[in-house]
Amino acid sequence: MKSKITSKYQTTIPREIRDRLNLSVSDSIEWKIEKDKILVEPVNKPFLKYKGSIKVKSGNIREDIIKSRRIRVLKNK
pLDDT digits over 47-68, tens only? Answer: 666 677 777 778 888 888 899 9
CA angle 2, 34, 9 (to 5 degrees): 40
Asked, for residue 66, whether it belongs to a domain, the answer is no
Instruction: Please state the domain count of the chain.
Output: 1
Asked, for residue 34, whether it belongs to a domain, the answer is yes
| CATH number of the domain within which 41 lies | 2.10.260.10
Bridge-partner residues for 39, per DSSP? 32
CB 24 within 8 A of CB 15: no
CB 23 within 8 A of CB 42: yes
Asked, for residue 41, whether it belongs to a domain, the answer is yes
Q: What range does the domain containing 20 cover? A: 1-45
- Reported pTM: 0.50
In the predicted model, residues of the chain with pLDDT beneath 50 are: none
